[in-house]
Amino acid sequence: MLQIPSHKVLVVHDDLDLPTGKVRLRARGGHGGHNGMRSITQHLKGSQDFPRLKIGIGRPAGQLPVASFVLQVGLFINDYVHSVFLAVAWLH
């Protein structure tokens, strides 16, 4: 297992509460009900001291279940994360 300090990790994840395409950077915080963030926090021994880049996906329209919506948007997020990764690598 890698021994990287949590403050040197950047977690990029989707956020239902942000409008589609809006990006928010936070230095730390809770999981906010996001299962992936909850899992990451557990793997970091409960630490919330890691930066995260939230990418807004908005809320599903109509009666579409949230889980189905998030899975549909997943491909968009993967492309977006790849673009962010390339931009950060270029700046670094």
Q: What's the whole-model pTM score?
A: 0.70
**Using one digit for the tens of pLDDT, what is the confidence trace for 41-55?**
888 888 888 899 888
Q: How is the chain split into domains, by residue range?
A: 6-91
Confirm if 37 and 14 have CB atoms less than 8 A apart: no
Which whole-number Å values give the CA distances from 79 to 7, 28, 38, 42, 82, in the listed order?
A: 25, 24, 23, 26, 5
What are the tokens at 85?
A: 């990764």
pLDDT for 92 beyond 60: no
**Using one digit for the tens of pLDDT, what is the confidence trace for 50-72?**
899 888 888 888 888 887 887 77
3-state secondary structure at position 55: strand
When pLDDT is cut at 50, 70 and 90, the band that residue 91 belongs to is low
When pLDDT is cut at 50, 70 and 90, the band that residue 30 belongs to is confident
**Topology classification of domain 6-91:** Rossmann fold (3.40.50)
For the four alpha carbons of 36, 75, 21 and 18, in that order, the dihedral sign comes to negative
